[in-house]
Structure 1
Amino acid sequence: MRIAMLSLHTSPMEQPGAGDAGGMNVYIRNLAYALSELGHEVHLVTRSADPTRTEQVMDRVWMHELQVAPGRRVSKDGLYGLIDEAAAVREHFHDLPVDVIHAHYWLSGMLGLELATAWHIPLVVSLHTSAAAKEAESGIAEPAARKEGERHLLAAAQRVIANTPVEAEQLRRHYRVPQDKLDVVLPGVE
């Protein structure tokens, strides 16, 4: 299977602790490596202010850094405004068909939904955290665009992957994600 794994807000190859890079980077990178060891072809896709480039990082795993917002560094909070511009990924993959898109975090999911619809392929989404759960735990309001985006994304995705049973319950409770399209895949431990 050929899998496009989207991670717009930060590159899976970034060192945790640098900028917005953290545990999700480690998770995505190691998931790509594990899928490649099972024989799948994985195309990690992230944005970059630098020119577009592709690098093979291991057998059956490629890192595609696509130029979005040339010459500008954009914070995670400013990414929502770049979704339309990031749709240029469609041109990059024109000659590289993929069978499924696995989007990580809601911003990648919004682009993933657009691409999956255009390419007529399934979309798998891993939110890693949701606005509704953050609000319920902290009492601090999340942006309306994020909450509405997550609601739309989770309704449209063919599969939703939660990292823990607690996250799965939050997705069922706050977004009414049906059990038959929700899977729990616990992160591995090195």
Structure 2
Amino acid sequence: MYSQNKGKIALISVHGDPSIEIGKEEAGGQNVYVRQVGEALGRLGWQVDMFTRKIHPEQANIVEHTSNCRTIRLSAGPEKFIERDRLFDHLPEFVKSFLNFQGQTQTLYPLIHTNYWLSAWVGLELHKHHLFRQIHTYHSLGAVKYRSVTTIPLIANTRLSVEKTCLETADCIVATSPQEQEDMRSLVSSQGNITVIPCGTNVQHFASTERHSAREKLGFAPDAKVILYVGRFDPRKGIETLVRAVGRSEVRHPENLKLIIVGGSRPGHKDGRERDRIESIVKELGLEEITIFPGQISQSELPNYYAAADVCVIPSHYEPFGLVAIEAMASGIPVIASDVGGLKYTVVSQETGLLVEPKNEVAFADGINQILSDPSWAKTLGKAGQKRVLSYFSWDGVAEQLDQLYLSQLKQLHQDFFAVNVVS
């Protein structure tokens, strides 16, 4: 049931289409965040338009999700997939398309919430055309990312400059964890207005599946020891660390051990090449018989994989938040995660799971062995994780926090507009 109409808001996510199927290349946590936040804000009475880039001629220009929430795809360069690091030159066309849409529909958005640095640049450009309040969520900080990769892209300096300008000039930055806020202050700028509002998950969607039925559907034995990874095929996700941890002798000994690596990939593309590399390591370690690559899994199927698992492993080199962690915790599954970024906020070590040193296969192997060898403790961790998610990370709870932020920003916008008109 919708509350009263609170007004219009634009969520801009240039490269992360909120209506695309999760698991495809460049489709991950940001897409989920924008879609779920958009729909939850719609339930609170906002009219939400989510703007993204059209990547295929057959894609619909407008996708209606609910009566209060829709995705609008704008032209920006050729209508084909382009990696995010190559999109910057097409952003001026995205700005032009956005302004044209406003003109054609006679709509001015008083609040624009941008997502990722590409969208931040779009927001900064739109400020040249009309008055509005810009809220921004980074999803990933270049200053952090470039410390964990060996090859720095050519766009790096542009990204770092845009992220700094956005932090210092946007009306409010939404950090998804205290760690991300700390990274902004220490690595980007001491200036700017930051508030912490976490990401969320659909708690009921993940909490309603029972282990026995999930294993029956997936064909796993009741006594199997199931280790789960969910995410993109990307070197920064640390899948190699997980595979090598499973290959160590202290982990390999249980009967019916299964390693499930969930994620889509496209042959010939970056994620396809990473999957090929991971498969070659699986073969090198002799893990082919216990390793399953289900490929891209729909959101309706995903709860079965979480429910069937004994432990969910998130070996990322860096995560600003870590959506998979709270999905697993919502499912009542203990989590082993890298002790980095937002994972240090979502996962409470020794309470809802374990935090271990990133890129350290020995540490991950030890953590996996601890949980698999002590089912009673694993169950305690899972229950505590579920309780934490219910308390802090539901999408409706996140939307209510954003709702209060938006209302305060609208109030400030009205004051700014009044001040401008009095002066003029």
Could you say whether these structures have the same fold, taking a TM-score greater than 0.5 normalized by the shorter chain as the test?
yes
* Count of aligned positions: 189
Deviation, 1:139, is 6.3
Choose which of 70, 76, 90 in structure 1 pairs with 2:99: 90
In structure 2, the residue matched to 1:127 is: 138
Counterparts of 1:155-166 in structure 2, within 5 Å, are: 155-166=168-179
Paired residue secondary structure (1:93): helix
Aligned pair partner of 1:73 in 81, 105, 108:
81
Q: Relative to structure 1, is the Cα distance of residues 71 and 46 closer, same or farther in structure 2, using a 3 angstrom cutoff?
A: closer
Distance 2:60 2:129 in 1: 22
Match of 1:186 among 172, 184, 198: 198
When you count strand as a share of all residues, which structure comes out higher?
Answer: 1
Q: Which runs of 5+ in 1 are unaligned?
A: none
Deviates more, 1:54-63 or 1:124-133: 54-63
Asked if structure 1 preserves the Cα contact closer than 8 Å seen for 2:177 and 2:197, the reply is yes
Choose the corresponding residue for 2:69, options 57, 61, 64. 61
If each structure's helix is expressed as a fraction of its own residues, which one has the higher value? 2
**How has the CA–CA distance of structure 1 residues 125 and 177 changed in structure 2, closer, same or farther, with 3 Å as cutoff?**
farther
Aligned 8 A contact 1:103 1:125 in 2 = yes
The alignment yields a C-alpha RMSD, in angstroms, of: 1.8
- Say whether the 8 Å CA contact 2:9–2:47 is kept in structure 1: yes
Check conservation: 2:112, 2:135, Cα contact below 8 A. yes
Q: Which has the higher contact order (CA 8 A, sep 6+)?
A: 1
Give the corresponding residue for 2:147: 136
Q: Structure 2 counterpart of 1:126, which letter?
A: T
Structure 2 gap segments, 5+ residues each:
1-6, 203-424
Q: Which has the larger radius of gyration?
A: 2
**Cα pair distance change 1:77/1:44, threshold 3 Å:** same
Match of 1:22 among 25, 28, 40: 28
Aligned identity (percent) is 26
The answer to whether the 8 Å contact 1:52/1:67 transfers is no
TM-score between the two structures when normalised by the length of structure 1 = 0.91
> Could you tell me how far apart the structure 2 residues matched to 1:9 and 1:141 are?
20
Question: In the TM superposition, what whole-angstrom CA distance separates every residue of 1:4-52 from its partner, at most 9, and x where no partner exists?
Answer: 1001012011112112100111111111111111111110000114377
Deviations 1:60-81 (A, max 9, x none): 1121011222344322111111
CA distance 1:101–1:37, shift in 2 (3 Å): same
Report the Cα offset of residue 135 of structure 1.
Answer: 2.6
Q: 1: CA distance between counterparts of 2:134 and 2:188?
A: 17
CA distance in 2, matches of 1:74, 1:12: 16
